[in-house]
Structure 1
């Protein structure tokens, strides 16, 4: 009896340790150092401190529905009602969004950059890959619409987790923008986790995912099954430009192909020839800009 009890205890302890490790890796994913992000963008020529400092802008604090502050920067060099919100990827911050903001500033849009929960200067204790972040994005959209009035023309640009967050916002909460640009989103968080587990840990995810999901529901009050842009993409009626790098091995391009196929109504797809994950703009800037111009020209009245 004692031996059986010890075996049972060992098995339970093993799965407890696995569940805690799995959810810690998800909830408290290691973020990139902010100085590293800043220096990387400066050295690559994608962030010019002098140009950024001279830009007419102001810091903004938006209250999350979960009680913490969302920190944002509103850049308004143009007398216009055209705005684009930039939603960055996991482990990054709004400095990484400046290059995308510049793209839209050059096209006559004003921009709002913000830090996701638990990233940059924003509050929040955990990262949820779009589950809680979509409500924060709604708070950002609502704030901007209240600030700028009913005639606001709005686009949202998202990268990686930021793109998934954007699609979840538009598909689950409200199709509240006039257009969307989804750069390398995952289509389903469960499938994405399974891919990463097999790629990085060389183990079969079949047992790990249910255990991890159970712990995640206990610890962060949501299920990985609830983070699935593919399940809500058909609800988005406004135009979506889907972008992915062909050689992305972190979030596979097939996920963007699936999202594109399931999206009804106006849409475009661009598969970048160069770069890996979240590098479509970095490695293909001219083509990226050209495709954005074609998208705006085709599906909005605001061609560059």
Structure 2
């Protein structure tokens, strides 16, 4: 009888453990399916609103097995030049949002072509998944390849990214050795630092529950969507780029704390890497705080780096 009771107890315990495991896996898969969905927003303006001539362009990601078509605007400078800045938006944004076009307009006036792109799953580009930035780097590299097809060498290309886009351009630059200019505004050092925050934002789960689910979440994103969180570390790229990087961040940024840029600047291979922090500013707000000075800093950096 005692043996039978012990056997029933073991089966009961195993059943409970199995049930909890199934619930955990289901919840982890649910999180992965929700957090990796892009929140697509429409384009609400275009270069004509800023009196800019432009060309609608389409191109493909580099070395990607998908048939995704990426969209962008190529805006030529006021004078003929090969020097081109690829501008990359943040998460759930697009090439027309916020200050993207005003910055492009001012770079145009200062002698730069600009190529504003929609990352996959954003704006008018194909795809419906957010991949954390590592796969999106192929979108930026596809933009570089598009410019090469127009006769613009990557040595004449600079990268400018905001928030998610900042991490994306850093990782893309690691794979394009001829690029010598990267500006990362409000970027993240590694995505695992932000997973808990993003899961809470998208699911409204209690803050005590989310950390418990993160190990299952990361495994599910890799298993079902091919997203390896360990690869999404722009700080590694910052340590491999041999030229000076320009980091920009607001000191009061709560979405991506300023410590991310501080850590990346410290990890940078080049001692001339620049870190510009405006203490009173929140996430991706440095341009709006002082547009003219912001543009002058960009122009100085890109002119020096691309000329070299």
Q: Work out whether the TM-score is over 0.5.
A: yes
Distance 1:227 1:84 in 2: 23
* Bigger mean CA offset, 181-190 vs 20-29: 20-29
**Offset, 1:218:** 1.0
The answer on 1:137 being equivalent to 2:146 is no
- 1:110 corresponds in structure 2 to 113
Q: Which among 167, 187, 192 is matched to residue 164 of structure 1?
A: 167
Distance 2:145 2:38 in 1: 28
**Stretches of structure 2 lacking an aligned partner (at least 5 in a row):** 1-7
- Which is bigger in relative contact order (C-alpha 8 A, separation at least 6)? 2
- 2:35 corresponds in structure 1 to 26
How well do the aligned residues superpose, as a CA RMSD in angstroms? Answer: 2.5
**Offset, 1:258:** 0.3
- 2:212 corresponds in structure 1 to 207
SS at match of 1:34: coil
1:253-264 mapped onto 2 (5 Å cutoff): 253-264=258-269
1:46-61 mapped onto 2 (5 Å cutoff): 50-52=48-50, 54-61=51-58
- 1:224 corresponds in structure 2 to 229
The answer on 1:286 being equivalent to 2:288 is no
- 1:95 corresponds in structure 2 to 96
**Offset, 1:216:** 0.6
Distance 2:253 2:119 in 1: 23
* Bigger mean CA offset, 161-170 vs 143-152: 143-152
SS at match of 1:232: helix
Judge conservation of contact 1:70–1:117 (CA < 8 Å) in 2. yes
**Offset, 1:208:** 2.2
- 1:246 corresponds in structure 2 to 251
- 1:76 corresponds in structure 2 to 76
Judge conservation of contact 1:94–1:113 (CA < 8 Å) in 2. yes
Distance 2:132 2:140 in 1: 12
**Offset, 1:25:** 3.1
Distance 1:167 1:186 in 2: 10
Count of residue pairs brought into register by the alignment: 289
**Offset, 1:301:** 4.1
Distance 1:49 1:113 in 2: 10
Question: Cα–Cα, structure 1 residues 56 and 5, in superposed 2: closer, same or farther, change >3 Å?
Answer: same
**Offset, 1:236:** 0.8
SS at match of 1:94: coil
* Bigger mean CA offset, 191-200 vs 110-119: 191-200
Question: Cα–Cα, structure 1 residues 49 and 63, in superposed 2: closer, same or farther, change >3 Å?
Answer: closer
Judge conservation of contact 1:274–1:284 (CA < 8 Å) in 2. no
Distance 2:286 2:148 in 1: 30
Distance 1:300 1:104 in 2: 14
The answer on 1:178 being equivalent to 2:180 is yes
Judge conservation of contact 1:164–1:229 (CA < 8 Å) in 2. yes
SS at match of 2:194: helix
Question: Which structure: larger Rg?
Answer: 2
Judge conservation of contact 1:145–1:152 (CA < 8 Å) in 2. no
User: What is the TM-score with the length of structure 1 in the denominator?
Assistant: 0.85
User: What is the TM-score with the length of structure 2 in the denominator?
Assistant: 0.84
